[in-house]
Structures are given as structure tokens and as C-alpha cells.
Structure 1
Amino acid sequence: MKSLLIFISDFFKNKGHHVFFSLLIAKICGFIGSLFIIRLLPESEFGTISIVASVFFIFLAFNGLGSNQSLLRYGSINQSLTDKRALSTYLFRRGLFYQIFISSLFLLTSFFYVSKYEDILIIFLLFTVRLVGYYFLNHIQAELRISGNNKGFAIVSNVVNIVGVIALLILSYFFGIYGYLIAVAFTPFLALLWYKKENLNSLPPKFIFTKKELWNFGLNAAGTALLSDALFSADVLMLSFLLNETAVASYKVGLLIPLNITFLAASFMQSDYPKLAKYSKDKIFLKNYLFNYYKLFIPIAILIFITGLFFKVEILDLFFSAKYAESQMIFIIFLGAFCANMLLRNLYGNLLSAVGMMKMNTIISVLTLILLVIFSFIFVSKYGVTGMAVSLSLSMFFGGIMLAFSFYLYWKDLK
């Protein structure tokens, strides 16, 4: 019990609660913005924006070719503040070069849609600006985290999200779709208020690792992020192919709340990531971290599942409506799956990243996606929407087991 109290105390000393609330605020702002736009914009305009946004999130995973992820890990390993700044400057400049190329590719994809959708080029153009803005935002957030400034990370996130949703509401109300586009395009650039001018000075980077290792890690981090997002798109695509849009609606309702409970674990891992990277070779530290993590999150996961099991009807009625009563079984399956996710996939995926085994993360993400396709063809034909819930849950569970086993092999070989 004493070790658990120290574990929680360290979380607060590390300003982890600021990260927790910043993630919560980001989710609330995203929900408010989406709800407002759905109600305000005509269906055709919202549909066009949704198409562009889907392409945007694919390219967003490769922002700076993973330079911010590399900065987060290798900057955490570096002990010297001077070396951290030199690495940040190097990655910022090289990543910006890659980002311009990635953003240009994103803009070029608009020509596949120009003939079919009116005014889609201007939407792509402003989302390209947003893509560049996210590069600056992600880099600055990573820079704050490697210096242990979780409070600063949270402030940047809160300013961008809160000002962003306010600007979106006001500009969309008065200027419709163009107001929305201007708001989402330019608010990420608010993060530049926290960019230190001295970081623009030329500093010779001192590497305790090879540049190849640095960029391989970043590229694998980008690939893993993309594959993780693909996992939660492939299930809907498979369901729409095997069943119909009504089944998709019922499925999404059952998925929505369980999907978001993992931010509890995510806030801990976000807060502790620099420390985990710093002590990635310390066998005893990693062992103690795992034990204390489980002491905290096993009871949380059990409490969430039992609450959902006994109050599933009330929860679904409160957030949705009585017409989605058939989603109860899907809701419970996913609630159990994402509780397990906090204890397996979320935990060990972040641990593998922190210790530098991002390539293994990418490989297991591919295998998880393949498992989803296989399970879908087995279970959906027999059990319909419930079968898809089982398919995704099993895929995530086996993916989590593979991640845990990979981390165990790494930990076992440490001296």
C-alpha cells in the first residue's frame, strides 16, 4: 500500500493531474465542436468536411515524419538541458522540412475529389494549414514534456482547445462553413506563443544514438498511430460491408462510451512517459512501475465494469435514447474489452514505445488488424453486430497479450 501511495504521490508531484484534466478538456471541446457543427451546417457540407477530415487524420499520423515522438523519447533520455535543446532544434528543422513535403502530398490528394465535390479544394487548403499548425503544436508539447513541464503542456493544450472551440462556435455561427474552416486552420498556431526564440539558434546536436535510430523510431511511431486509428475504422467498414447502416449505428452507440474510458490510463502514461524513457534500462524501476500501475488500475477497471453492468440501461438512455436498447450487449462486451485494454494494450504499447521498441508496436498493430478481419468473417455472419463487438474485443485482447509478452522478453534480458 505504501508503494501505491508513493506512486500516486509522484503522479501529482509530476503535475500528472494537469495532463489528466487537459485530456478531459480536449475531449469535451471536441465533443462540443462536433455537436455544434452537425447541427449548424447543412448535411452536404458536413459530409464534405468529414471526407477531408478522414484524409487529414491519415496524414496527421505522419506529422514531421514522427519527429515529435522521437523528441519525446530521446529527449527524455538525454540528461543535459543543452543537449535536449540541441536535439529539439535539430528535429524541429528537419521535421519541418518533412512536414512541408507531407502537407504538399495532402493538398495534392484534393485533386482526386475536385470533380465530384464542390469547393472541396478550399477545404483541403485550410486543412493543410491546420496540418502545419499541428506540427508546431505537437513539437512544442513534446519539448515541454521532456523538460518535465507537464503543467506547461496542459496550459498549451487547454489554450488551443478552449480558444479553438470558442472561435469555432463564433465564426461558424456568423460565417458558416468558412468560419469553421478558418477556426480549425489557425488555432493550432496559438502554440507558437510558447516557442522559445533561443531554440532557433544553431546548436550542434550531440547524439547518444544514431540518426537512423532516431528517424526509424519516429517513422514506426507514425505507422503505429495510423494502424491504431485504422483498427477503429476497419471495424465500421467491415460491418457496413457485411451488414448495413442500421447495424453500424447500433454498433457505434455501444462503442462510444467504453472507447473513451481509456483516457484514464492515457493520462497516467502521458505524464510518466519521459520518466519511463529515462529509466528504460532500470529493471527494478520497470517492475515496480508495473506492480503499482496494476494496484491502481485493476480496482478502477473492476469498478467501471461492475457499474456499467448494473446500470447499462440507465447509461444508454441518458446519453442516447430508448431506440438503442439493443446496444446493451455490445456496450457490456466493449466495456469489458476496454477495461482489459487499460491493463494490457494501452499499458504495454506505451511501455514498448518508452523503451525504444516501437518497431514491435508497429508489427503487433498490423497483426491485430489482420486478426480483426479474420474474426469478423467468423463471428459477424453468425452473431451480427454482437459478433463484430466480439471480433474487435478479441483482436485487442490478443494484441495486448502480444505486447505484454514482447515487453516481458525485453525486461527479462535487462541486467
Structure 2
Amino acid sequence: MKSLKDFLRSFFNNSGHYVFLSFLIAKICGFIGSLLIIRLLPENEFGVLSIVLSVLTIFLPFTGFGSGQSLMRFGSISSDENEKLKISSYFFFKGILFEIILIILFLGASIFYFNKYEDIFIIFIFCAIRLGGYYFVNHIQAFYRITGKNQTFARINNVVNIGGLILLFICTYFFKFYGYLIAIAITPYLALFWLKKDIYLSRKFIPKNYKEMWRYGAFTAATSLISETLFSLDILLLGFLMNETAVANYRVAILIPSNITFLAVSFLQSDFPILSKNYRNKKFLSSYVVNFHKIFLPICAGIFIFFFFFDEYILQFFFGKTYVENGTLLMILLIGFNVGMLTRNLYGNLLPAVGKIEINTWISVASLLILYGVSSFLIPTYGVVGMGIAMTSTLLISGFSYMVFFLLYLRKLS
């Protein structure tokens, strides 16, 4: 992979464009779904729903206690197709047991909100059903990724997201708030149409290096958990330190900046199996980083310039006049997520691909502490803008840290 042309050719040969389009469709569907709820619900109901969804976001990456992440890593490395099937079966059955434990823990988290928000437990129940369905989506998609079927992965992604959006519209239209809850609970189970016997056929198989696999999965799950907590802690802190109106305004401002990262994530996710196979190839990894920046530096610059001139128009067009004053907050957050595509997203995905997931874990822990400390100091004085500054600062610091550790890893390779 010496040139940008080779980089793009490899991306298309790996059906990366299918993955990219599926991520694009997922983001569009998610964005439209969020717009629908923002438009239909009053600020207080939207704020309470955002709090529960933020708690759910913390638990989602820990689905199966890291079984899906381990399947992706070690299934990609294995060159034996039969062994891939056996590894899939092993993690499928072990992951279900751990997922049940995770759902119980998620429902237990609702006790912290009983006294402050009425009927919040009902929302937790519907989200718990969604959490269970997410396990099947995660494992089924990982199976098709490690077997080189990116088109099937993309097809599943499209059906779950487009089908979910249709369900969301129909259920919300007829049953309002509870219709929305029903839709988000049912949607993940659409992936079961692709659940084949190959995915779980070898039930008694136990890999020789299962301890190493679970160690990787545990670190990956912990890292994902902490990372997602980072993007939920802001909502939770605003919910405790301010009110649901502040939560709603911040949620609107962060919606677009946080979603633009799919541009980088789609490239990295489609290439994860290839990156894992080349984890000792210094020339390949260095070339990948260079070509990635050739593509995304102009993209990031263009995004920032566009929003700099049209931020208020975009807010009014998508969210209405109620949220139009959040332009400054949107731009602050855009800086963090935009630069994050070139640092946090890139190197934060490369490190797990080369097996250095523990580095991600410790950086994620540090990021969580930084966000908590800075936001606790800024929110009382600057409100939601203070939260935006804290989030952007955390993204920039963590992105730089990921970059340093990956470059140190490259330096050690011969």
C-alpha cells in the first residue's frame, strides 16, 4: 500500500464502500430518528429519555462482556475457515450468559433515578430489551466480518437501521412516546434473520488460547465501556448539575459533531481484519496512516469551514428556533470531534488492531477523569458551553495520547 491509489483500491476490493454506505445509512437513520423525537416530544420528556439512553450507551459496548470484540480480533487472525466457525460458536454461547448478567446490572442502575424522575423504570425495561437484541446484532455482524462477507455485514446493518426507522415512525405516530420505546426495543432483533447454524454449530469447542482471548475481550469491552461513558457522562452531569432543558440543548448541539466521525470509523471498521493481519508490518501500517490523512485532512477542513459559516442556519433547519442559540456550543464541539477523526478515531482503532488494547483502556480511564474534573469546574460558571469546552479538551488530549503510543509501537517494529 504505497500510494493513495493503492489505498483506495484496497478499500474497494475489501467491499469497504458497502461498509461505508451502511454506516452512512445508519447515521442518516439515527439522525432522522433523533429529529423525530426532538420535534414530537417536549423538552422535559426528551431530557428524561436522553438520560436513560445515555445509561444504555454505557452498557452497549460491554455486550457479551467483550465476546464480539474477541471474535473480531482472533477470528480475523485465524487463516483456517473451520477454526473461525468454532471460535464463533464458542463466543456465541459464552456471550449469551454474560449478556443476561449485563441486562440485570443495567436494570439495577435505574435505582439511582427513581426519586428524581417519574416512571423512569418503564423506559429502562424497554431499553433492557434493546440491550439483549444488540448482543445478537453484534455477534452476527462480527461473524460475517471475519469471514470476509462485508456485503452481508452491510446488508444486515441496512435492514436493522432502515427497518428500525420505519418501525420508529409507525409506532411513534400511533402510540407516541411508548411507541418509540417499542420500536427501539424490537429493532435489533431484525438481525436474527441472518442467524445461521454455522455461527453456533460447535458448541463444545474451547480454544487453547481462550484466556488470551477473554483478556483481549475484557480490555476491549472495558475500553468501549469507558469510552461510551465519556459520551454519556456529559449528559449525566448536566442532568445532575443543571436540568433536563440543559440536557436537551446540549444533546441537540452534539448530535451533528458526534455523528460526522462515521466518515473515519467506516474506513477503519472495514479494514480492521486487514489491519489485524498486518499488525507486525511496519511499512503497511505507516503507509495506511499517511494515506488516511491524505483523505481526511481535506474532509475535516471542509466540514469546519462549512459549519463556521452556516451553523445557525443548520440548527434552525433541523431542530427549529428553540435550539438556534446553540451555535457557539456546536462549533466548540465540532473542533473536538473533527480533530478527533484524525487522532482519536484513527489511532484509537489502530491500537486494538495491533493488539495493544490495554493502552486504550488506560487512556480512556484518564479521559473520563479529565472530563469529570474539567466539566465539574466549568459547568457551574459557563453552563452547557462549559460542558462543550470540557468535552473538546478531553477529545484533543486523548487523541494526542493515542497517537503518541501508536507511533512508539511503530518505532519498535523492525
Could you say which residue in structure 2 is the equivalent of 1:268? Answer: 267
Could you say which residue in structure 1 is the equivalent of 2:365? Answer: 366
C-alpha contact 2:127 2:185 (8 A) present in aligned 1: yes
Q: Which deviates further from its counterpart, 357-366 or 302-311?
A: 302-311
| Alpha-carbon displacement from aligned partner over 1:69-110 (angstroms, at most 9, x marks no partner) | 111111111111111111101011111121122223334555
Question: How much has 1:228 moved relative to structure 2?
Answer: 1.8
Give the letter for the 1:331 counterpart: L
Question: How much has 1:273 moved relative to structure 2?
Answer: 0.9
Q: Alpha carbons of 1:16 and 1:56: their partners in 2 closer, same or farther (altered >3 Å)?
A: same
Could you say which residue in structure 2 is the equivalent of 1:143? Answer: 143
Could you say which residue in structure 1 is the equivalent of 2:63? Answer: 63
| Alpha-carbon displacement from aligned partner over 1:264-323 (angstroms, at most 9, x marks no partner) | 101111111111111111111111111111111111112222222233344344334566
Could you say which residue in structure 1 is the equivalent of 2:168? Answer: 168
C-alpha contact 2:43 2:244 (8 A) present in aligned 1: no
Give the letter for the 2:159 counterpart: V
Question: How much has 1:144 moved relative to structure 2?
Answer: 0.8
Q: Which deviates further from its counterpart, 22-31 or 66-75?
A: 22-31
| Partner secondary structure for residue 388 of structure 2 | helix
Question: Is 1:311 equivalent to 2:286 in the alignment?
Answer: no
TM-score, structure 1 length as denominator?
0.88
C-alpha contact 1:40 1:173 (8 A) present in aligned 2: no
Distance 1:31 1:342 in 2: 19
Give the letter for the 2:160 counterpart: V
| Alpha-carbon displacement from aligned partner over 1:124-181 (angstroms, at most 9, x marks no partner) | 4443332221111110001111112111111001111112222232233334455444
TM-score, structure 2 length as denominator?
0.88
Question: Is 1:16 equivalent to 2:10 in the alignment?
Answer: no
Question: How much has 1:31 moved relative to structure 2?
Answer: 3.0
Q: Which deviates further from its counterpart, 29-38 or 283-292?
A: 29-38
Could you say which residue in structure 2 is the equivalent of 1:337? Answer: 336
Could you say which residue in structure 1 is the equivalent of 2:127? Answer: 127
- The 5 A counterparts of 1:4-403 are 4-37=4-37, 49-109=49-109, 123-202=123-202, 205=205, 207=207, 210-238=209-237, 251-321=250-320, 326-376=325-375, 385-403=384-402
Q: How many residues are aligned here?
A: 414
What is the aligned-residue RMSD (CA, Å)? 3.1
C-alpha contact 2:39 2:319 (8 A) present in aligned 1: no
C-alpha contact 2:93 2:203 (8 A) present in aligned 1: no
Q: Which deviates further from its counterpart, 215-224 or 182-191?
A: 182-191
Distance 1:23 1:410 in 2: 29
C-alpha contact 1:83 1:206 (8 A) present in aligned 2: no
Q: Which deviates further from its counterpart, 173-182 or 296-305?
A: 173-182
Question: How much has 1:240 moved relative to structure 2?
Answer: 6.0
Distance 1:350 1:21 in 2: 19
Unaligned runs of 5+ in 1: none
Q: Which deviates further from its counterpart, 346-355 or 330-339?
A: 330-339
Distance 2:299 2:16 in 1: 17
C-alpha contact 1:99 1:135 (8 A) present in aligned 2: yes
Q: Which deviates further from its counterpart, 330-339 or 140-149?
A: 330-339
C-alpha contact 1:130 1:184 (8 A) present in aligned 2: yes
Q: Alpha carbons of 1:41 and 1:404: their partners in 2 closer, same or farther (altered >3 Å)?
A: closer
C-alpha contact 1:345 1:403 (8 A) present in aligned 2: yes
Give the letter for the 1:62 counterpart: F
Q: Alpha carbons of 1:274 and 1:168: their partners in 2 closer, same or farther (altered >3 Å)?
A: same
C-alpha contact 2:47 2:247 (8 A) present in aligned 1: no
Alignment identity in percent? Answer: 52
| Alpha-carbon displacement from aligned partner over 1:238-269 (angstroms, at most 9, x marks no partner) | 45666676665554444332222111101111
| Alpha-carbon displacement from aligned partner over 1:314-343 (angstroms, at most 9, x marks no partner) | 434433456656533333333222221011
Distance 2:16 2:409 in 1: 27
Distance 1:96 1:392 in 2: 34
Distance 1:282 1:254 in 2: 41
| Alpha-carbon displacement from aligned partner over 1:109-128 (angstroms, at most 9, x marks no partner) | 55666788776655544433
Could you say which residue in structure 2 is the equivalent of 1:408? Answer: 407
| Alpha-carbon displacement from aligned partner over 1:9-50 (angstroms, at most 9, x marks no partner) | 221221112112212222222233344445556878766655
